[in-house]
């Protein structure tokens, strides 16, 4: 990269140009359409101790999150807020492709959707 290209790139970052951030956001978007990602064979519940009602609600909320958000951290934020509002307490959510975890939650669900793992717990 030439000095001029670097300077231009830095100026774009420094000016908080919305298109620059849109480009970054676009590169991190969920690649698969929600209809494909949420097919029964792609949604695998790894482990849970939630009641059946909350399991079904978490699946529905994940579907909504995939349609509305598209980026992993936004999906996690959406699910956390919705579970906090509906079930009270301090829910946490981790969404990602490659992470390790060791949790001792009271309630939790861990599922996988098209290579993305979701852990929702409190």
Over the chain, what is the mean pLDDT?
A: 78
pLDDT at 38 over 80: no
**Closest by Cα among 74, 77, 87, 71 to 122:** 87
pLDDT at 111 over 50: yes
Give the total number of structural domains in the chain. Answer: 2
User: What pTM, to 2 d.p., does this model score?
Assistant: 0.67
| End-to-end CA separation in angstroms for the chain | 47
Written as six digits, the tokens of 87 are 């079930």
**Are 13 and 73 within one domain?**
no
Supply the range of the domain harboring residue 117. 31-121
**Are 85 and 37 within one domain?**
yes
**Are 20 and 41 within one domain?**
no
Written as six digits, the tokens of 53 are 């009602």
Provide the pLDDT confidence category of residue 32 given band limits of 50, 70 and 90. Answer: low
Q: Is 89 helix (H, G, I), strand (E, B) or coil?
A: coil
CATH of the domain at 111: 3.30.740.10
**Are 76 and 99 within one domain?**
yes
pLDDT at 15 over 50: no
């Amino acid at each position: 990269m030439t000095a001029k290209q670097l300077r231009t790139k830095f100026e774009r970052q420094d000016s908080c140009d919305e298109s620059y951030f849109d480009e970054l956001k676009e590169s991190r978007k969920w690649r698969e359409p929600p209809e494909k990602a949420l097919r029964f064979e792609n949604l695998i519940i790894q482990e849970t101790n939630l009641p059946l009602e909350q399991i079904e609600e978490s699946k529905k909320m994940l579907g909504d999150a995939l349609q509305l958000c598209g980026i992993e951290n936004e999906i996690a934020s959406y699910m956390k807020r919705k579970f906090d509002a509906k079930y009270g307490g301090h829910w946490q959510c981790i969404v990602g492709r490659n992470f390790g975890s060791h949790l001792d939650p009271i309630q939790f669900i861990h599922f996988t959707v098209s290579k993305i793992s979701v852990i929702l717990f409190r």
